[in-house]
Structure 1
Amino acid sequence: MPVPVVPADPAWPTVAAADRRADPFDPDASARTELDRQVRAAVDLGLATLHGWTAADLAAAVVPLHRVVDDLPASTVPPQDHVPFVLVLDGGTTRANAAVAATRRGPRPG
């Protein structure tokens, strides 16, 4: 069965940001630092804009999570083996195609 391919719209903010890279995960960083890194990545890669948020909007939206991540218990999994949590911007399926352009596998976008 063929897989439908949706061409990337150059107007999508995630496509416009295709040349950008997020800061890499640092297994030695605190949970708060990791949350801040994920927020920066969402902004830098165009995901916040895709959802209609400014950088300030997204930063304000995650303020309640600061206390949550500050209170996370120490992980029992080796830090090089996982990211302790992932910030998810729920756009449902309506923004799924545009969001794919922000994904990365090493240096490759999409």
Structure 2
Amino acid sequence: MGYSTKERSVVDFCESKTESLSNWVRQVKNKSINAKTKRKRDLRIIAILSNSLLRAENELIMKQRERARRWAQMQVDLGLCNKEEEIARQQREKIDNLWKNDLSGLDSFFKELDNVKPVLVN
């Protein structure tokens, strides 16, 4: 009688929240691209999508950095050797650089798209 629920650990819950935020960011990016490429653009919708996307990306980056910080703290608490800590730090820096490059590349790409003027044929 009743229903059964699947027990989920705290780690699964946190991962699913980050994953769902990541999926949401991807969907908003797609909507934003579609809104910007429409022949009749609605600037209000583009502004809302851009603002929402910026906030969500910042939140996602904060969550990822917090997770990396907690992982580093856990490594320190477990007493991992310095070599492993250095490798973990380098991996975090590499991931941060990839995110920065990816987001700044997208930002500059969208700015270039906004500056493109249509060719008028007489």
* Max Rg structure: 2
Greater RCO, CA 8 A, separation 6+: 1
Q: Between Structure 1 and Structure 2, which shows a larger proportion of helix residues?
A: 2
Structure 2 length normalisation: TM-score?
A: 0.26
